[in-house]
Every structure is written in structure tokens, then in C-alpha cells.
Structure 1
Amino acid sequence: MKALNFPKSHRLLRPADYGKVFDDVQLKVPHRNFLILATPNNLGYARIGLVFAKKNLKLSVQRNRIKRQVRETFRLQPDLPGMDIIVLGRQGLADLDNHTVRASLNGLWQRLTKKYHQLSPSRPAESPSAGEGTG
């Protein structure tokens, strides 16, 4: 089981990390309120970066609330494959309650995992701890 923490190693911290994902997007998971971009990494675990513009979420309290929800749902995903993920916010997020945001994100994480396995079915064999055959 995945540890219930969110260390720095599971975050995209440097502009180069973000640039790598933006320049080489291999997976896109669109949604009315979110867009998830991802590219596989060789680390064996997922890393996340967040992009929420003032244009879409005017108040900082709104941006921070949504970012907390994204980080929490990401942290609770036990079987995300090794990839770098960027979550972008779209308009209309400020109108959603926390339950709706969490439900949307949980669905997006499942779709992302499914697309990842469709993209490269041989990837789980590279890292034995990826939980081959689960899901």
C-alpha cells in the first residue's frame, strides 16, 4: 500500500520538469473543468505539477482549495504508474463543491491509468513493483 504522505519527490518542482511534460505530451485526459497532461518517467512513481491561472479562478482561496483537492486525490491513488503529470484548471472550477471536484478527479485518475496502459502495455514489466495485472 502507498504511504499516506506527499513528499517533495512526488512533485514537479523545477521549470525544466514542467517543460519536459509540456514539450513531450504523450497522454491527455480532457474534462470540462480540468486538463491532465502526462508523459512517462523512469522513476517508478508518479509526480504531479499544478497549473491554476487567475483567469479561471479569480480568488486565491479558490485556487488553493482546488489545489488541495487535487493533491489529496493524487496522494490517495495507490496504483498510478510512473509518469510526470500536470493538472491544468479550466473555467467553471470555482462553482464546484469539494465533493464534485473529488469525484471528477478520481474519474480522471482512472482514465489516465487506463490510457497509460493502452499506450505502452510492456511498461509494467520494466518495474516489477508496478502491480502487474491489478486494476
Structure 2
Amino acid sequence: MSAQTYGKTLRLLSPGDFKQVFDKATFRAPHQHFMLLACSNGLEHPRLGLVISKKNVRHAVNRNRIKRQVREYFRLHQQELPAIDCIFLARRGLDQVDSPTLVKQLQAQFKRLSKKALRDNP
């Protein structure tokens, strides 16, 4: 698998995948504008799922921008992450955050999440 792709193997696709993370979320990285939930997946690579509702981010343009940014950050930094299933949950006010600030916040929260996951599952 190429290190710079974001194929189907790196995504949470089925409702069962999302339910497993929501039910067994052992790692959390909360932030004012979003939250990352994660659990070990038993695979050799991390996977990502996105939950960005209309209620929290009103306009489709902003939802799509946020999705693009989160997917791109994950794609570029997936080799640094442990084998976890991770869900990105948007909160209200995320659409007010500009792109460079969002990337910095993602970097900090994914780093926290990685430390927690590596500490609990070496």
C-alpha cells in the first residue's frame, strides 16, 4: 500500500464500523470545535471516519472544506498514527475556523490521540 493514498482500506465505511468505535471508544481527544474518538482496530493501519452534521456546520461548502482538510491531514500523516479506527466529530463553530488554524488543531489533537493509544497499547 502506498503511504500517500487515501483508499477504501483507510476509511470507516459501514455503519457497523462506526458503531464499534462509538461503543468502544477507548481514546478521546476533545477540542472546542471537534472531537476525535478512537479504538484499536487489530489491523496494520489506521482508518478514519467523518461525522459532520448540518446542525453543527450549516453550509455544504464549509462541510466539504472541513472534510477535505481532515482527509488530507490524515492522508499525509497516516504513517505516524497507530493502528486505530478514528472518528472525527464536528461541533458547532467549526465552520468559523479558518483552514490553517484547523490544520494546527488537527495536528495537536492527533498527536494527543497517538500518545494515548501508544501508551495504552504499545
Q: Could you tell me the TM-score, scaled by structure 1's length?
A: 0.86
Aligned to 1:129: none
Aligned to 1:126: none
Aligned to 1:79: 80
Deviation at 1:101, TM superposition (A): 0.6
Aligned to 1:4: 4
Q: Which amino acid aligns with 1:81?
A: P
Matched, 1:53 2:56: no
Return the alpha-carbon distance in structure 1 between the equivalents of residues 97 and 51 of structure 2. Answer: 18
Return the alpha-carbon distance in structure 1 between the equivalents of residues 9 and 82 of structure 2. Answer: 15
Determine what percentage of the aligned residue pairs are the same residue: 45
Runs (4+) of structure 1 moved beyond 4 Å?
none
Aligned residue pairs total: 120
Deviation at 1:117, TM superposition (A): 1.4
Aligned to 2:25: 25
Aligned to 1:127: none
Give the root-mean-square deviation of aligned CA atoms.
0.9
Return the alpha-carbon distance in structure 1 between the equivalents of residues 109 and 28 of structure 2. Answer: 10
Deviation at 1:120, TM superposition (A): 2.1
Aligned to 1:63: 63
Return the alpha-carbon distance in structure 1 between the equivalents of residues 75 and 109 of structure 2. Answer: 14
Partner SS for 1:50: strand
Q: Output one character per residue of 1:1-41: Cα deviation in whole Å (capped at 9) or x when no partner.
A: x6211111000000000001011110011001110000001
Unaligned runs of 5+ in 2: none
Matched, 1:34 2:34: yes
Deviation at 1:114, TM superposition (A): 0.4
Q: Using CA pairs below 8 Å that are at least 6 residues apart, which structure has the higher relative contact order? A: 2
Q: Could you tell me the TM-score, scaled by structure 2's length?
A: 0.95
